[in-house]
Amino acid sequence: MRRSFKKAYLLLSPSLFWLTLFLVIPVLFIAVISFTTNGDFGAIIYEFSTEAYTSAFSSLYAKVIWQSVWWAFVATLVCLVIAYPFAYFIANAGKWKNILLLLVMVPFWTNLLIRLYAWIILLNNQGVVNNFLMDLGFIEEPLQLMYSPGGVILGLVYGFLPFMILPIYSSIEQLDKTYLDAAEDLGAGPVRTFLNVTLPLTFPGILAGFIITFVPAISVFVVTDLFTGGKLLMVGNVIRDAFLVEMNWQLGAALSLLLMILVLLSLMIFMRFTSRKDRKLLV
């Protein structure tokens, strides 16, 4: 690798320019807005105020923040529990590996809205499941399957499960099998080999999966929107409504900034605990 400040930045300048102009500056502007005063009709008055943060942590919104964190966390854990054995199976499926992986890619690339819509067909009041149960006489009234925290968590899991599967799959696939043989030769049983060798070596995949599942899960607004018609809220719903409906940009900006801080923290943790070669697990 050569040392050349000028040439490096010449090649980097177009993308750095773009990212600065359309990502860094707008996010910094959001940070500024979050500390301004809210005028009439959504006007931004440039006077310092922490009111947006006070209201973000008031009982009304604190509850939304808390339940977003909780639902996203539960959904991410469920994804992890499903994804690990599943990825392990695919990584060891021999000649079927590629086909099975492609079968995961289809839902991964199909638009989230369409995949959530598919669940609406199954779960809504006149949906397949309710019709089926009523025809069999198990229930008289349709069950409210989507309009509950459980429904939201199902939507989150279905939406973001592939994000968990793919990095874990890569880390299991890259696992040097000779370590497993060595553990076996040294007398470790399968459980011990798994806990002491496989799990630690695939930890970067788990960490990457956790981050790229948790971040969209906590900020998504379409799951609550489509499943509960806005009856249950997550942070994303509040941000959207603050900007588009209530014209309270300060509140929306403050919540966006809190999300951003959460993301930067998790990215720093990830970079701290993984090597450069593990970074590509994020993509």
Q: Which of residues 195-254 bind another protein (CB under 8 A)?
A: 211-212, 215-216, 218-222, 225-226, 236, 239-240, 243-244, 249, 252-253
> How many residues can be counted in the chain?
283
Q: How far apart are CA 172 and CA 201, in angstroms?
A: 8
Q: In the complex with another protein, which residue's Cβ is closer, 48 or 191?
A: 191
Helix (H) or strand (E) holding 44: strand 44-45
- As beta bridge partners, residue 51 has none
- Give 149 or 216: the residue with its C-beta nearer to another protein: 216
* Rounded (5°) CA angle 126-64-34: 130
By CB under 8 A, what part of segment 143-202 binds another protein?
A: 158, 161, 180, 190
Alpha carbon distances (Å) from 48 to 26, 44, 45? 19, 11, 9
Total of residues contacting another protein (CB under 8 A): 96
* Smallest separation, CB 114 to another protein (Å): 4
Least distance from C-beta 60 to another protein, angstroms? 20
Q: What's the min distance (Å) between Cβ of 50 and another protein?
A: 19
Among 63, 192, 231, 280, binds another protein (CB under 8 A): 280
Give whichever of 35 and 158 is closer to another protein, judged by the CB atom: 158
- Give, in order, the Cα–Cα distances in Å from 24 to each of 9, 19, 31, 33, 246: 18, 6, 11, 14, 25
**Site residues (CB under 8 A) for another protein, limited to 79-118:** 82, 85-86, 88-90, 92, 98, 100-107, 109-118
Q: How far is the CB of 246 from another protein (least distance, A)?
A: 13
Nearest to 213, CA basis, from 260, 147, 168: 168
Judge whether 156 and 71 are in contact, CB under 8 Å.
yes
Q: How far is the CB of 256 from another protein (least distance, A)?
A: 5
Comparing CB distances to another protein, the nearer of 14 and 59 is: 14
**What count of other Cβ atoms lies within 10 Å of the Cβ of residue 247?**
17
Residues 6+ apart with CB under 8 A from 210: 76, 80, 164
Question: Least distance to another protein from the beta carbon of 271, Å?
Answer: 7
Q: How far apart are CA 212 and CA 236, in angstroms?
A: 16
> Shortest distance, CB of residue 207 to another protein, whole angstroms?
12
Q: Given the complex with another protein, which of 51 and 120 has the nearer CB atom? A: 120
| Lookup: tokens for 193 | 């080999």
Q: Determine the interface stretch with another protein among 12-20, 55-63, 143-151, 167-175 (rule: CB under 8 A).
A: 12-20
CB atoms within 10 A of CB 189: 10
What residues numbered 115-134 form the site for another protein, per CB under 8 A? Answer: 115-122, 124, 126-128, 131
The smaller minimum CB distance to another protein, of residues 109 and 138, is found at 109
Residues of this chain, 58-77, that bind another protein according to CB under 8 A = none
Task: Return d(Cα 168, Cα 92) in angstroms, integer.
Answer: 13
43 binds another protein (CB under 8 A): no
Shorter beta-carbon distance to another protein: residue 59 or 177: 177
Which residues fall within 8 angstroms of residue 256, CB to CB, at 6 or more apart? 30, 34, 239
